[in-house]
Amino acid sequence: MSPTESTPAVSSATAAPGGAAAARVEELPMVKALNAGLRQALADDPKVLLMGEDIGPLGGVFRVTEGLQAEFGRDRVVDTPLAESGIIGTAIGLALRGYRPVCEIQFDGFIYPGFDQITSQLAKLTNRGGGAFSMPVVIRVPYGGHIGAVEHHQESPEAYFAHTPGLRVVSPSTPNDAYWMIQEAIASNDPVMFFEPKSRYWPKGPVDFAGTAAPLHASRVVRTGTDVTVLAHGAMVAVLMQAAEIAAGEGVSVEVIDLRSLSPVDYGPILESVTKTGRLVVAQEASGFVSVGSEIAATVAERAFYSLTAPVLRVSGFDTPFPPAKLETKFLPDADRVMEAIDRVMAY
């Protein structure tokens, strides 16, 4: 897999909600930004189609696909049976016929019935065929906690897929990234697991419809600092920003990095930051054992060992099944747990 994909051309006149050419920057929640990105992809390429449970007239559980079936028709926005393995298997067949399917998994914990299709077939077919064909399939996965839901609705299964060669794995943390990254993912000729942090669906942020997208697999410094580097993806980026504000009040300068891509990982900005600060804290909602955070901690320890003045620390969910909703705040890392790790690395 190449480290970057070309950025699809986007017309601000058609991308902006309402079709207003003047609306080049707009405050939107992530659900609306994703909707606009999907609409643009559908408009740009007749081979793009959406598939998933209740994504048609209902617009999906989170309303990400609201209005798209009415605009593009039932052949382009397809309500499927409740059968994740069937959805992914059908998408694989469509990709072999030249289509670019985008599958919605209704909740993170529902992805496991389709796991074999994703890891045994979708991830391997291009290699199995010696590159004779590609698999331009995007699988959208609403994931993570902080929504007070029941079992199988608040999980963070991204490490399973980042571990699987042949899959690209990305996660936006802002509405602007969501708008651009979903289009880049659809334009990719490789299968992309697109993890959408549910708890960030509703907070608004600026979406620059006439802007330029960052490369799909580029990590990014979102707050500069000099004392310690903290890194996360998805919803945890907002938590790190809260911790950075608290630390600033205590005289500690924190640099925050948004990972954005979990596979491949863009280590350039990470290593540059750690070389400057000498300290790294990696945070995630997922359980810590054999996780994305584990891999990043190990790689930084290997490649920046002589720059580190303290051990790399990880802040994660606990190594237990996700608890009932009333206990989710005990399981999920918050700014206080991040600050505890920052205090520990600053003590060296």
Looking at the fold, whether 228 and 173 belong to one and the same domain comes out as no
Tokens of 75: 């052949």
Looking at the fold, whether 31 and 120 belong to one and the same domain comes out as yes
pLDDT at 147: 72
Q: Find the CATH number of the domain harbouring 16.
A: 3.40.50.970
Continuous segment of H or E residues that includes residue 128: helix 125-128
Number of C-beta neighbours around residue 211 at 10 A: 15
> What residues contact residue 65 under an 8 Å CB cut-off, 6+ apart?
35, 38, 50, 52, 55, 56, 59, 77, 104
Residue 238 lies in a domain: yes
Q: Could you read off the pLDDT of 55-113 as tens digits, one per residue?
A: 999 999 999 999 999 999 999 999 999 999 999 999 999 999 999 999 999 988 889 99
pTM of the model: 0.91
Q: How many domains does the chain have?
A: 2
What domain range includes position 276? 220-346
Q: Greater confidence, 147 or 18?
A: 147
Residue 52 lies in a domain: yes
Q: Look up 153 and say whether it is catalytic.
A: yes
Q: What is the mean pLDDT of the segment spanning 219-233?
A: 98
DSSP state of 148: -
Q: Which of 12-21, 215-224, 291-300 has the lowest mean pLDDT?
A: 12-21
Confidence class for position 15, pLDDT limits 50, 70, 90? very low
Residue 117 lies in a domain: yes
Helices (H), 46-113: 68-72, 84-96
Q: Find the CATH number of the domain harbouring 267.
A: 3.40.50.920
Is the pLDDT at 190 greater than 90? The verdict is yes
Percent of the chain with pLDDT over 70: 93
Looking at the fold, whether 231 and 82 belong to one and the same domain comes out as no
* Chain-centre distance for alpha carbon 341: 24
Domain ends where: 208, 229, 255?
208
Looking at the fold, whether 294 and 324 belong to one and the same domain comes out as yes
Is the pLDDT at 19 greater than 70? The verdict is no
Q: List the catalytic residue out of 153, 163, 217, 233.
A: 153
Residue 6 lies in a domain: no
Distances (CA, A) of 184 to 93, 138, 190, 205, 335: 21, 10, 11, 20, 31
Q: Could you read off the pLDDT of 107-154 as tens digits, one per residue?
A: 888 899 999 999 999 999 999 999 999 999 999 999 987 777 767 777
Q: Could you read off the pLDDT of 325-337 as tens digits, one per residue?
A: 888 888 899 999 9
Looking at the fold, whether 176 and 242 belong to one and the same domain comes out as no
